Amino acid sequence: MLSEFTSWDLVERLPELMAMRTAACKAVTLPSRLFNGLDHVVIAPTGASLYSALMIAELTRTASPIPVFVSRGYDVPKWVGARTLFIAVSKSGRDEELIYSIAAAGDQGARCMAISGGSHLHEISVAQGYPEYTLTEEDDHPALEIAGTFAALWCALAVTVQWSPSDLDALHPILTAQRDLMSDGSDHNPASMISGVLGGKTAHFYGSNGIGGVVSQVWSHLLHRATGKPAFFGSFPGIDEAPKYVNFGMDMSSDAVVLLLRDAADDDLMRERIDRWVKTATEGDLTGRVHEIIAEGATPLERMWSTVHLGIWAACWAAV
């Protein structure tokens, strides 16, 4: 049991934290030199901010007028240059690979900005005159770090890329209502029901589309942090692969459980793929071990975050 996911008073603050971080970032005026004539954006995350970066990249994949990439490691792509916005994201501000990568991006002429909690990354931003969004100690919990860095990245791209996303403020009442439901011990609490399904088993998460694929990674990370047990994620197999890949191409142990993260907006072909796979799997070795979760919401943003938030609370219940 890990204390960070048994401290529910921290997790309960997530809707308010996201709203606060959004307001704080909106209050910062980013200079026009940062975004005039951009060709692409590179996000360099560390720690749990990797998952907020992956979420942002998926949401912007079909909505942003220019491509948004996620880059990890000490180096940066060779094509990073004067028409690239490079965003370094680190809660601690001390990650060595990020210090090297933002220096490399600057050397290649990129326009840089930082989202940090201080330390070396903040010092570099001040010395180089890079714009910065500031994270605080309130973002220390892994779930809150994802929420806080997501809000900061969303605000940065809303200004610099000038895409037309859904209103991030619209998430607040949705997440608040979810929290009120998932923090109690009622029989209708979906988070505690999911933790009961997991029940100390080895979890395998699979998404039906881009959103589901990213959320499966987030759920895997959260559950592992909460329980210490391995948790796996992967892409959903194709329509003709169901009989052959009934175990998703891996040998599942007897304690394995599969959670399929579906999207209410899945097209007919994807629904057919999933229904066919589920039918085959539940008639075979995975009888009683396949469970489906459907992401609901009016927009991709709402579907993604309502499902991520559900996973956060499922991890909390699994931790206890």
For residue 15, CA distances in Å to 20, 178, 189, 305 come to 9, 10, 18, 11
Residues 138 and 245 in one domain: no
Backbone angles phi, psi at 116, to 5 degrees: -145, 165
For residues 117 and 132, the answer to whether their CB atoms sit within 8 Å is: no
pLDDT at 90 over 60: yes
Backbone angles phi, psi at 115, to 5 degrees: -125, 105
Residues 16 and 151 in one domain: yes
- 53: confidence class by pLDDT, cuts 50, 70, 90: very high
Over residues 149-166, the mean pLDDT reads 84
Q: List, for residues 62-75, the tens digit of each pLDDT value.
A: 888 899 999 988 88
Residue 262 makes CB contacts below 8 A (sequence gap 6+) with: 208, 212, 274, 292, 293, 294, 295
Q: List, for residues 200-235, the tens digit of each pLDDT value.
A: 888 889 888 788 889 999 999 999 988 888 888 876
User: Domain holding 249: CATH number?
Assistant: 3.40.50.10490
Q: Among 165, 194, 217, give the residue marking a domain's end.
A: 165
Which residue has better confidence, 275 or 309?
Answer: 309
Residues 109 and 250 in one domain: no
Structure tokens at 162: 């000038």
Q: Which domain holds residue 288?
A: 171-319
What integer pLDDT is reported at residue 69 of this predicted model? 95
Residues 38 and 129 in one domain: yes
- Cα 225 from Cα 145, distance rounded (Å): 13
Residues 46 and 156 in one domain: yes
Q: Among 98, 130, 165, give the residue marking a domain's end.
A: 165
Instruction: Tell me the average pLDDT of the chain.
Output: 85
Which residue has better confidence, 223 or 256?
Answer: 223
Residues 122 and 249 in one domain: no
What integer pLDDT is reported at residue 241 of this predicted model? 47
Q: Among 165, 181, 204, give the residue marking a domain's end.
A: 165
- 248: confidence class by pLDDT, cuts 50, 70, 90: very low
Q: List, for residues 183-197, the tens digit of each pLDDT value.
A: 887 778 999 999 988
Mean pLDDT lowest among 75-79, 81-85, 96-100, 279-283: 279-283
Residues 135 and 253 in one domain: no
User: In this prediction, what percent of the chain has a pLDDT beyond 70?
Assistant: 90
DSSP states of 13-50: THHHHHHHHHHHHHTSPPPGGGTTT--EEEEEE-TTHH
Residues 24 and 144 in one domain: yes
Structure tokens at 319: 């931790």
Residue 44 makes CB contacts below 8 A (sequence gap 6+) with: 70, 71, 72, 76, 86, 87, 88, 89, 98, 101, 102, 105
Q: Rounded to two decimals, what is the model's pTM?
A: 0.91
- Cα 163 from Cα 64, distance rounded (Å): 5
**Which secondary structure element, helix H or strand E, spans residue 70, and what is its range?**
strand 68-70
What is the phi-psi region of residue 296: left when phi exceeds 0, alpha when psi lies from -120 to 50, beta otherwise? Answer: beta
For residue 18, CA distances in Å to 29, 97, 117, 167 come to 19, 27, 16, 13
pLDDT at 105 over 80: yes
What integer pLDDT is reported at residue 252 of this predicted model? 58
Residues 196 and 257 in one domain: yes
